[in-house]
């Protein structure tokens, strides 16, 4: 069994990855600063579940803190690092671009330096489909992705490039997994599906940027977590898409939620945002070839799980004070 450092451990995707690793018998050392980009009540909800599992330990802290990272690496022997810590949110990156660079890029550099110093030879880095802005679809990993349209995407691309540099110089085996519109129970409240479920159920107008025709390659969180765990395999250096490879319009997603709730949405359409991509679509042949991975959960089934979680946790959702209006 292995011992892994997992950053962003309280986050939506990372907490699912942690659970999968722990259930397989591995040890997971979690690190997260539990920042308030969205209400930390959800992060503590996820963290409390993990703390009930054996072989999980946790420190609250920031990957920007090099001294803390050095202490963690000096006191633990890690077989690999999964860096899922990141400042999320494409639109918010326009309001505060500096924290995106300091966390997503500088934080990645700090981790790489510790891996070099303490000779940890395997990295899994979570990246984003936002890197493909302006590219032809379906998105293939070897496309030149040098035209990011948001500070968020630029900072994640910077992290990818730094990871390649350390792979090249110090032989760190590196899997970069580009996630496509991840959704699921207990997800981020700033994501459209989370807000739409709440707003449609309570009769609040749903905020749509554009006319809803934009397409997203929605991918259920359990599929993403499984692909991330598989990316711990030795690959050399690879960028790998993890996406449903079945893009669906925002309007279709809304229709499914309406059917699940038995209620019609009240629409409030606003101007399309310059930082948003019109469509995303993952080409997954590399994930199938290298990891033996493909998405399994259909959107209807995944959204059904989200609606069930929402109904079972209305008290928790009612306490969320941020993230539902961004």
Q: What string of pLDDT tens digits covers the 326 residues of the chain? A: 999 999 999 999 999 999 999 999 999 999 999 999 999 999 999 999 999 999 999 999 999 999 999 999 999 999 999 999 999 878 778 888 999 999 999 999 999 999 999 999 999 999 999 999 888 899 999 999 988 889 999 999 999 999 999 999 999 999 999 999 999 999 999 999 999 999 999 999 999 999 999 999 999 999 999 999 999 999 999 999 999 999 999 999 999 999 999 999 999 999 888 768 788 999 999 999 999 999 999 999 999 999 999 999 999 999 998 777 54
Cβ-based neighbour number of residue 150 at 10 Å: 24
Which CA distances in Å does 173 have to 27, 79, 237, 240? Answer: 20, 11, 6, 14
Let me know the angle formed at the C-alpha of 11 by 45 and 175, rounded to the nearest 5 degrees.
150
| Active-site residue flag, 152 | yes
pLDDT at 326: 45
Task: Point out the catalytic residue in the list 152, 166, 193, 310.
Answer: 152
Q: How far is CA 249 from CA 11, 164, 190, 254, in A?
A: 26, 34, 18, 9
Distances (CA, A) of 36 to 6, 40, 44, 97: 19, 6, 12, 16
The upper half-sphere exposure of residue 305, i.e. CA atoms within 13 Å in the direction of its Cβ, equals 13
CA distance 272 to 212: 9
Query: Which tokens hold the place of 73?
Result: 């690496």
State the Cα torsion 151-89-15-66 to the nearest 10°: 40
Q: Does domain 183-216+245-280+296-319 have CATH number 3.90.25.10?
A: yes
The superfamily CATH assigns to domain 3-180+219-242 is NAD(P)-binding Rossmann-like Domain (3.40.50.720)
From CA 193, how far away is CA 297, in angstroms rounded?
16
In the chain, where are the structural domains located?
3-180+219-242, 183-216+245-280+296-319
| Block residue for tokens 């300091």 | 102
For residues 193 and 258, is the Cβ–Cβ distance under 8 A?
no
State the distance between the two ends of the chain, measured CA to CA, in whole angstroms: 41
């Amino acid at each position: 069994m292995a011992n892994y450092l997992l950053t962003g451990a309280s986050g939506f995707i990372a907490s699912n990855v942690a659970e999968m690793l722990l259930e397989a018998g591995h040890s997971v050392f979690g690190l997260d600063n539990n920042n308030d980009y969205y209400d930390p009540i959800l992060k503590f909800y996820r963290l409390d579940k993990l703390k009930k599992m054996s072989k999980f330990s946790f420190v609250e802290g920031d990957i920007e803190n090099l001294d803390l990272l050095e202490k963690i690496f000096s006191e633990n022997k890690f077989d690999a690092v999964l860096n899922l810590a990141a400042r999320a949110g494409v639109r918010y990156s326009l309001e505060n671009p500096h924290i995106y660079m300091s966390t997503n890029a500088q934080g990645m550099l700090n981790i790489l330096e510790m891996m070099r110093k303490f000779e940890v030879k395997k990295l899994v880095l979570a990246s984003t489909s936002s890197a493909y802005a302006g590219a032809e679809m379906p998105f293939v990993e070897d496309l030149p992705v040098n035209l990011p349209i948001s500070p968020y995407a630029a900072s994640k691309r910077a992290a990818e490039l730094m990871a390649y540099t350390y792979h090249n110089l110090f032989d760190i085996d590196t899997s970069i997994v580009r996630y496509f519109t991840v959704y699921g129970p207990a997800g981020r409240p700033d994501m459209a599906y989370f807000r739409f479920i709440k707003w449609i159920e309570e009769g609040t107008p749903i905020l749509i940027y554009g006319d809803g025709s934009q397409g997203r390659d929605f991918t259920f969180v359990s599929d993403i977590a499984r692909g991330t765990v598989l990316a711990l395999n030795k690959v050399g250096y690879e960028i790998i898409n993890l996406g449903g490879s079945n893009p669906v319009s925002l309007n279709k997603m809304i229709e499914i939620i309406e059917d699940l709730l038995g209620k019609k949405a009240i629409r409030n359409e606003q101007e399309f945002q310059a930082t948003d991509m019109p469509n995303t679509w993952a080409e997954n042949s590399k994930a199938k070839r290298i990891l033996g991975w493909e998405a399994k959960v259909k959107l209807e089934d995944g959204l059904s799980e989200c609606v069930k979680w929402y109904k079972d946790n209305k008290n928790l959702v009612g306490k969320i004070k941020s993230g539902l209006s961004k």
